[in-house]
Amino acid sequence: MLAALAAASAAGPQATPQGPARIFVYSLRETAAHLWMPVTFDGEIAAEVRRGTFFTIACDPGPHVLIIEQGVPVAVEARPDRPAYVRLDWNYQLGRRPIPVLGVVPARIAEAELRHLSYIEAKKVRSAVVLRSDPRPAEEMRLKTRE
């Protein structure tokens, strides 16, 4: 019996997956982000994003801060068991320029929005925490046929 308890405690908790957490940062096609905008992750410029693009950060689990230049930052809790999604939105008000705002988005909404976006070019990656290529599995291409 002691051997079974020792083996169970050595294995550790079963529900905690190992590996880095992922944070997807994106900008929709219909936004004001015409130019590339640098995004800072925990005090270091991670990558640049503009409308219609996204990038993925692979990081340690825990709280992190993302900041967009001249905009509103966001705190994100990164978890290894599910990705976090951060979208670049804009705050508009009469008489002033739009302010970029980063916000956390629910997974169901973000996954639907990401389907229509492109991964950033490798030259827009500025940090080792950003994946250089799209981590999503390739979608199976099918021709539509008439029945």
Would you state the pLDDT for residue 60? Answer: 96
* Domain ranges, ordered by start, for the chain: 23-124
**pLDDT exceeds 50 at position 48:** yes
Biggest CA pair distance of the chain: 73
Would you state the pLDDT for residue 9? Answer: 35
Would you state the pLDDT for residue 97? Answer: 86
**pLDDT exceeds 60 at position 7:** no
Interval 1-23 mean pLDDT: 51
CA 37 – CA 102 distance, rounded (Å) = 12
Which pLDDT band, with edges at 50, 70 and 90, does 4 fall under?
very low
**pLDDT exceeds 70 at position 13:** no
Residues 94-142 have pLDDT tens digits of 898 889 999 999 999 999 999 999 999 999 999 999 999 888 887 776 7
Compute the residue count for the chain.
147
Q: Mean pLDDT, the chain, as a whole number? A: 85
